[in-house]
Each structure stands twice: as C-alpha cells, then as structure tokens.
Structure 1
Amino acid sequence: MRHRSVADLMTPMAVSVAPETTFKEIARLLDEYDITAVPVVDEAYRPLGVVSEADLVRRRLHGAGADTAAALMSSPAVVAHPQWSVVRAARVMDREKVKRLPVVDGTGVLIGVLSRSDLVQLFLRRDRAIQEEIVEDVITRTLRLSPSALTVEVMDGRVTLSGTVRDPDVVPVLLRLCDSVDGVVTVVDRTRREDVPTGK
C-alpha cells in the first residue's frame, strides 16, 4: 500500500527570489507565473523565508519601509521534505497557518514547492477507488481480516466502517490505516466488538 508523498505532488524547480529582489520584481513574478508566493533563497539556494501576495498587500497598505524580499518575507521558512507523507505536510501547514511549503533536500537546498491546492488533488479521488483500497489492501492484505466481516461505505471521501471485529485491539489500527488512505476525508467507526467467552 503506497501513499502519496510530498515529492509526488510538489511543483519542482520552484520560482524563487534573492533577498535583494525588489517589491516590483516580486509582483511581476507572481503575475507572470500565476503563483501566490515565492521562496526567498540565499546564495546556496536554501530557503530563508517566503514572500506572499498578502505580504505585498500589507506593504502597499502601510506604505513605508519594506521594499525588498528580505524585508517583506515571512521568516524563517517553514519547509517540507520530499519523503514526507502528504498528511504530515498538511498538518504542518495547518499548525503553522501557511498555505505553501518550500520543499528541501537533505542538504536544505530548495527543490520544489508544495501548496495547499496541490493537496486538494488527493481529495478528488473517486469513492470507489478508496473503497477498493481499504477492502483489498487494509482489511484483507495488511490486517488479514475477512472482508465479509466488515462493510466499507465511502461517500465524498467519508468512510463508514461497520460489522463485527473479533479482536478489539485491531480497531484503532484499522481506523488509523483507513485514515491514511489517499482521498479519505474522515473515518466513522460503527464496528461492533465480538464478545469472546473466556474459559477458566
């Protein structure tokens, strides 16, 4: 069961600017490439921060001061790594309240950008494909449960699990694996635990 990584969804060879890049040049790049932000990088191409449309708007509203990328940027840059799962990247975006993450390699060099709109692609996956992966990969292959014991319903990415589970310890694992399937928005647990009599 292979899950999408940051490397699968990021935009490679990201547009970037130097600390001394001017306000007007940044605005031109955002318009030319139809993007909403650019990473600011040092001489070694390591991200120092990010300048977004919002940063430019704030500069226009408040007038004085910031006229270069170094002064405009939000820093330090919150970055992602290509091997991260998209779930991890999404959680970092949510926690840090950012809409995009520069992606860096093992030496900290910029290799791409992951945006919130890239993550949305995951949730366009068809419900039938999600259901098949849960039944075949999660339930049957990974957990080695009988697919007939559980019912998996998927609607708009919302997974509902029902049926009987003999081992209650399996349920948290089942829920976690289902939640990690690409395209799943939420998982509802309606399974029942089978009462197994204990002998003396």
Structure 2
Amino acid sequence: MKHPRTVDDVMTHAVVSARLDAPVKEIVQSMRRWGVSAVPVLSAEGRVVGVVSEADILVKVPGEDSVGSVTAGSLMSAPAVTVSRGATIAGAARLMGRGRLKRLPVVDEDGRPVGVVSRGDLLKVYLRSDAEVAEDVRHELLTHLIPEGDTALTVRVADGAVTLTGRLPESVSTDLALRLARAVPGVVDAAAEFTTA
C-alpha cells in the first residue's frame, strides 16, 4: 500500500447492505455469507439510514417466535454514523473511537454507500515499510515547510518511529515539523534534532 491518506485508500469497496423491510433471517444470512458483523440499512432511495449489528439482533429480537416479523428498520441503530470517502484515516479512527464502533459505512455526497471501513482497514497503515513512511514524511516536510533547494534534512524511520535531523529554516518551528511528521499515516512517534539555518 502506497501513500494512504484517506478512507478511500483503505476501505473495502464492496458493501453488504439490507433494505428497511429486510427480515432478521435474511440479515443474518447475509452477515454469515459475507463474514461481516454489521450491515448498513438503506432507504428506498438507497441512502444509509441506520446500521444493524449482531449485537442489535441478539439484544432486540424478543424470541424465535417473532423472528419472521422483525425487520431491519425496527432493529437498526439510527441515525447511522457514516464517513465520507475523502475523510482522513485519523478522522475515521477518532469517529470510531468516540462511538466505540468496529466499522463505518462510507457514503458519497448523497448519502449512498460506496464502501465500508473497519478498524482492521485503518490499521493497514501500520504495515507500511519504514522506507515508505520516510518518503511520505520527507515529502510532507519539503512540500509544506522547507524552501525549494534546501535539502539539509534527514528522515530516519525505525518501526514507524520518525527521527528528523538536519537544518530547519528559522521561520519554521520544530513543533510544526513534528506535527506534520506525526500526521503521516503509519507514524507512531516523532522526534527532532534540528539545527537552525
């Protein structure tokens, strides 16, 4: 994986969903068939209006006698927490953390599903090689902070931990350089040993 920045870079593009009137049995069959633990529920217009999870089914279905009459619309958690495909990986992770969610439906501008992003998808950025992470950090710093032609910057990465050394222009703070480095997907920590220009 190279240069992941947004949810679109890591999400699963296939979406398993349910209609509002889908019965419990159909939802469970879809979950089992596709190996997912939750499905977005779609309105008649195809917009995500809620999510049905395994927990929703286990907690809200009163018993076997009522399974045939319970639908996605009565089981779903609503409104659905969704994310746009252009959202940052860090932003999606914060959204999941706040809601204690395992996955988020990814929607287009009209609220229609275009994918699903899971915790596992977001963790893929930590599988990137140190060389890829170093290249991205160097690119960010040279693009946003370091004047063209001033390449007295060294970026070392070991197991996702970044160390910045070299010369930093007087107009640029070390804190800003570290913030930019830490924002690169796959960076777990950053430290700097700069000299000023």
Q: TM-score range by the shorter chain?
A: 0.7 to 0.9
Q: Residue 94 of structure 1 corresponds to which residue in structure 2?
A: 97
* Alpha-carbon offset, residue 13 of structure 1: 4.0
Partner of 1:12: helix, strand, or coil? coil
For residue 172 of structure 1, the aligned residue among 155, 170, 175 is 175
2:33 pairs with 1:32:
yes
Separation (CA, whole Å) in 1 of partners of 2:174 and 2:4: 21
AA aligned to 1:52 is S
* Alpha-carbon offset, residue 46 of structure 1: 0.7
Q: Residue 6 of structure 2 corresponds to which residue in structure 1?
A: 5
Greater alpha carbon shift after TM alignment, 154-163 vs 22-31 = 154-163
Separation (CA, whole Å) in 2 of partners of 1:124 and 1:3: 11
Residues 114-155 of structure 1: per-residue CA shift (max 9 Å, x gap): 1111112111101122123323x133343226554x543322
Residues 41-69 of structure 1: per-residue CA shift (max 9 Å, x gap): 10011111111122223246x64878321
Q: Residue 142 of structure 1 corresponds to which residue in structure 2?
A: 144
Partner of 2:83: helix, strand, or coil? coil
Greater alpha carbon shift after TM alignment, 157-166 vs 178-187 = 157-166
2:113 pairs with 1:104:
no
* Alpha-carbon offset, residue 164 of structure 1: 5.6
Separation (CA, whole Å) in 2 of partners of 1:139 and 1:110: 35
* Alpha-carbon offset, residue 192 of structure 1: 5.1
* Alpha-carbon offset, residue 27 of structure 1: 1.0
2:41–2:52 Cα contact (<8 Å) kept: yes
AA aligned to 2:157 is V
For residue 74 of structure 1, the aligned residue among 62, 72, 77 is 77
1:168–1:193 Cα contact (<8 Å) kept: no
Residues 2-41 of structure 1: per-residue CA shift (max 9 Å, x gap): 6522222222241110122122211110110111210011
1:165–1:192 Cα contact (<8 Å) kept: yes
Separation (CA, whole Å) in 2 of partners of 1:139 and 1:4: 16
Shift in alpha-carbon separation, 1:144–1:11, aligned structure 2, 3 A = same
* Alpha-carbon offset, residue 71 of structure 1: 2.0
Show structure 2 runs of 5+ residues with no match: none
Q: Residue 118 of structure 1 corresponds to which residue in structure 2?
A: 121
Separation (CA, whole Å) in 1 of partners of 2:24 and 2:159: 42
Separation (CA, whole Å) in 2 of partners of 1:74 and 1:185: 33
Show structure 1 runs of 5+ residues with no match: none
Greater alpha carbon shift after TM alignment, 102-111 vs 30-39 = 102-111
Q: Residue 153 of structure 1 corresponds to which residue in structure 2?
A: 156
